[in-house]
Amino acid sequence: MDWAYLLQQLFNGLVLGSIYGLIAIGYTMVYGIIGMINFAHGDIYMISAYLTAIFIALLTLFGLPSLVLTLFITALITMIITGLYGWLIERIAYRKLRFSNRLAPLISAIGVSLLLQNFVRTSQGARTQALPVLISGKMEFGQGDNIIILANIESLIIVVSFICMVLLSLFINKTRLGQAMRATQQDLIMASILGVSPNKIIPLVFVLGSCLAAIAGTLVTLNYGSFDFAIGFVIGIKAFTSAVLGGIGSIAGAMLGGLLLGMTESLFSAYVAVDYKDVFAFAVLILVLIFKPNGLLGAKDVEKV
- Residue 301 domain-assigned? no
Closest by CA position to 277, among listed 290, 263, 296? 263
pLDDT at residue 144 greater than cutoff 80: no
- Residue 251 domain-assigned? yes
State the pLDDT confidence band at 46, using cuts at 50, 70 and 90: very high
- Residue 298 domain-assigned? no
- Residue 107 domain-assigned? yes
Closest by CA position to 95, among listed 22, 204, 202? 202
Owning domain of residue 115: 3-130+150-291
Q: What is the dihedral of CA 11, 215, 27, 210, to 10 degrees?
A: 180
Please list the residues that pair with 130 across neighbouring strands. 226
Q: What is the pLDDT of residues 199-215, one digit of tens each?
A: 889 999 999 999 999 99
DSSP string over 216-282 = HHHHHHHHH-EE-TTHHHHHHHHHHHHHHHH-TT-HHHHHHHHHHHHHHHHHHHHHT-GGGHHHHHH
- Residue 139 domain-assigned? no
Domains in the chain, number: 1
- Residue 299 domain-assigned? no
Q: C-alpha angle with apex 144: 139 to 146, nearest 5 degrees? A: 70
Predicted local distance difference test score (pLDDT) of residue 224: 87
Q: What is the pLDDT of residues 68-118, one digit of tens each?
A: 899 999 999 999 999 999 999 998 888 888 777 778 888 888 899 999 999
CATH number of the domain enclosing 172: 1.10.3470
State the pLDDT confidence band at 300, using cuts at 50, 70 and 90: low
pTM (two decimals): 0.89
State the pLDDT confidence band at 37, using cuts at 50, 70 and 90: confident
Q: How far is CA 128 from CA 9, 100, 124, in A?
A: 27, 39, 10
- Residue 80 domain-assigned? yes
Q: What is the mean pLDDT of residues 166-189?
A: 87
Q: How far is CA 241 from CA 25, 43, 142, 260, in A?
A: 11, 16, 35, 11
- Residue 144 domain-assigned? no
